[in-house]
Amino acid sequence: MPIRALLEENSGVFGPGELLDIAKAFEAVLKDMGLTDRTDPATLMLAKLTIELAKQGQFTAASLRARVMREMKPKGRLN
């Protein structure tokens, strides 16, 4: 799971409860997006995004998941 390695790189930044919420949010986002291949570059990108958003402040697994999904929505129209 790519997020574990990334979380190890950020050891000391998050407490045990926060680490659990980050992992739960990440797993939920992968499920929402239908991603199962842990070697897919999109999976790594989502792991990085999840951690970066978590660094911005207080969160729950549900709120972090919602923030990641919001960030992944297309912004504006492509014409």
| Residue bearing the bigger pLDDT, 66 or 11 | 66
Q: How confident is the model at residue 79 (pLDDT cuts 50, 70, 90)?
A: low
Domain segments of the chain as ranges: 2-72
- Where b means 16+ CB within 10 Å and e means fewer, 47-58 reads bebbbebbeeee
Lowest-pLDDT range of 4-13, 20-29, 52-61, 66-75: 4-13
**Per-residue pLDDT, 76:** 72
Residue 7 · residue 51 · CB < 8 Å? yes
In this prediction the pTM is 0.87
d(CA 58, CA 79): 37
- Quick: pLDDT tens for 12-25: 899 999 999 999 99
